[in-house]
Every structure is written in structure tokens, then in C-alpha cells.
Chains A and B, each alone.
Chain A
Amino acid sequence: MPLIDLANPTRFLSLVDRALPWLAGLAGLVLAIGLYLSIAVAPDDYQQGATVKIMFIHVPSAWLSMLCYMLMAVSALGTLVWRHPLADVSAKAAAPIGAAFTFMCLATGSLWGKPMWGTWWQWDARLTSVLVLFIMYLGLIALWRTIEDPARAGRAVAILTLVGVVNIPIIKFSVDWWSTLHQPAAVIRLDGPTIHPSMLWPLLITALGFTLVFFALHLGAMRNEVLRRRVRTMRLLEAADGAE
């Protein structure tokens, strides 16, 4: 069971040192191919024109923003249930990256929305739930930043993450109710055109590239976090020696 081997930070570090360069390289390659296909090869959409090219970064970032939260939820279980030493390291490393991708989804989305709906933002159900997700990311990061002892912070954040997971479907449901109740002015067809294969492949490859990039970043951030904790531990040792 690899997770067990990874329990030892030193072994984890050496593994990351070996694996990360390859992963990063692969991610860059796939992303490059995907972008090339989506920018140069993929045709424009018959009704959305060239703006559909935004979809190739918008949708992957949207998917990743959710994937990342799911990963944090699993890590939270790892912290509270399985007590895996790297679980909260993973959660802490993932939070800022997830927030970044969520922001990317929001930004590209509204850059798409301006030409499509003539407005940067709509209080439409799906958009709003992404915004709420973004805020939840920020809250988790804030909690990490404010609790100094990483172990305690990890447990606190884990609880909040799980409570959040329980709530996300409820939030989604209630936001849907809310927006349908009010029938927002502009009729949005978020799901856009039924995607034509000539667009689907570039989209999927770009999404794969994004995912690989995400995991490369995540591993790197995890390594940094392990090192940071090592520094802290040694500081504490220094303090202890200083006491005598």
C-alpha cells in the first residue's frame, strides 16, 4: 500500500524529488498540445464565434476547481479518520491551488460573459455557486493562516472541509431554487452548444493537461509544506536546547 510508504516524510521527499520533474514535463507537454489544438485547430462555434475558444480554458478550470475540493475532502478524512501524517499536508497544499483555479474559472467565465450576455456577471445559479465555492476556499486558507500549530490547524480545517462537503449540495440546491424563483433577466444557456467532436478532443486534452499541471503543483506545494514543518520542528528543538 503506497500510502503507508509515504507515511515517512523523508521517503516522500525523495520520491517527489524523483517524480516531480517528469510529471511537470509531461504536464507542460500535454497542456501545450491541448492549447495548440484548441487555438489553432479547433473550429469556431457557429453561434458563439471565436469566443468559444475561451471554453477550452474555462471548462477545465471549472472542473479542476471542483476536483480540488474533492481532493481536500478526502485529505480531511485522511486527517480525522486514518490519521495519515501527510493528509493535512496535502489539504493545506491544495487549498491555494484550488482557489487559484476557481478564480481562473470566474475570470474566464466573466470574460466570456461580457461578449455573450453583455455583462461581466450574472447572479445565475451556477455562477453563484462557483463564487460561494471560491469564498469557501478563502475561508479555509484564512483558517490555515491563523492557527500556528500545524497539527491543530490541520484538524480544524479538516472539520470545516467536511462540513463544507456536506453543505455543497445543499448550497447548490438552494441557489438553484433561488435563481429559478427570481427568473434572472438574461436567459443564459451555460451548457452552451452541444459540443461537436472537433471541439471535444481539444477540450479533453487541455483538461488533461490542466489536471496534470494541478497535480504537479500540488506535489510541489506538499514538498514545500513538509520542509516548512521540518523547519518549525527544528526551531522548537533549538528552543528546547536553549532552555538548558
Chain B
Amino acid sequence: MFGLGTHWEFIAGAYAVSGAVLIALVAWVLSDLHVQRRILRDMDARGIRRRSDGGSA
């Protein structure tokens, strides 16, 4: 009942939304990684080092 290409905007929209969400997720993970690593580097520079994992003093 639909010819080819009808509603293409909805299809494009759906794919666009999904792509945006996926890209956002990837960006979130990468940027977060970047931030955490930078903080750790700064701390290392300030001479604070982990004495062992799990934060034992």
C-alpha cells in the first residue's frame, strides 16, 4: 500500500536518532576516560600514589 521511498523522512529520522545516541555514548565513554586519566596524572605529578589497590592506607 506504500510506494517505495514514501516516509523516507521517518526512516532517515530513525537512523539519525539511533546514530546520534550511539555517537553520544561513545563520546561519553571516551571523554570520561580522558578526564579520569588526566586527574590521575595530575595526582601522580603531585606525588600522591596508590599504596595498593582498593585504597588501603
Which residues on the B side are within 8 Å of A108 (C-beta)? 14, 17-18
Q: Are A231 and B39 in contact (CB under 8 A)?
A: yes
Q: Are B11 and A54 in contact (CB under 8 A)?
A: yes
The complex places the Cα of A101 from the Cα of B54 at a distance, in Å, of 32
Tell me whether A139 is interfacial, beta carbon within 8 Å: no
Tell me whether A179 is interfacial, beta carbon within 8 Å: no
The complex places the Cα of A10 from the Cα of B52 at a distance, in Å, of 10
Tell me whether A92 is interfacial, beta carbon within 8 Å: no
Q: Are B29 and A111 in contact (CB under 8 A)?
A: no
The complex places the Cα of A137 from the Cα of B13 at a distance, in Å, of 24
Size range of the chain A interface in the assembly: 35 or more
The complex places the Cα of A230 from the Cα of B15 at a distance, in Å, of 38
Per-position binary interface string of chain B over residues 11-52, scored 1 when its CB falls under 8 Å from any chain A CB and 0 otherwise: 101110110011011101110110011011001000011110
The complex places the Cα of A114 from the Cα of B25 at a distance, in Å, of 26
Nearest-Cβ distance from residue B37 to partner chain A, whole angstroms: 7
Q: How many residues of B contact A (CB 8 A)?
A: 38
The complex places the Cα of A114 from the Cα of B10 at a distance, in Å, of 8
Tell me whether A23 is interfacial, beta carbon within 8 Å: no
- With known contacts A10-B53, A49-B3, A220-B33, A213–B10 Cβ distance under 8 A: no
Q: Are A49 and B14 in contact (CB under 8 A)?
A: no
Q: Are A50 and B17 in contact (CB under 8 A)?
A: no
Q: Are A44 and B7 in contact (CB under 8 A)?
A: no
Q: Are A237 and B7 in contact (CB under 8 A)?
A: no
Q: Are A237 and B51 in contact (CB under 8 A)?
A: yes
Which residues on the A side are within 8 Å of B25 (C-beta)? 96-97, 100, 217
The complex places the Cα of A176 from the Cα of B5 at a distance, in Å, of 35
Tell me whether A164 is interfacial, beta carbon within 8 Å: no
Q: Chain A residues in contact with chain B, CB under 8 A? A: 8-10, 44, 47-51, 53-54, 57-58, 61, 85, 96-97, 100-101, 103-104, 107-108, 111-112, 114-115, 213, 217, 220-221, 223-224, 227-228, 230-234, 236-238, 240-241
Q: Chain B residues in contact with chain A, CB under 8 A? A: 1-8, 10-11, 13-15, 17-18, 21-22, 24-26, 28-30, 32-33, 36-37, 39-40, 43, 48-51, 53-55, 57
Q: Knowing that A10-B53, A237-B48 are A-B contacts, what are 7 other residue pairs whose CB atoms are under 8 Å apart, sorted by A's residue number?
A: A44-B4, A51-B10, A57-B15, A96-B28, A103-B21, A240-B57, A241-B48
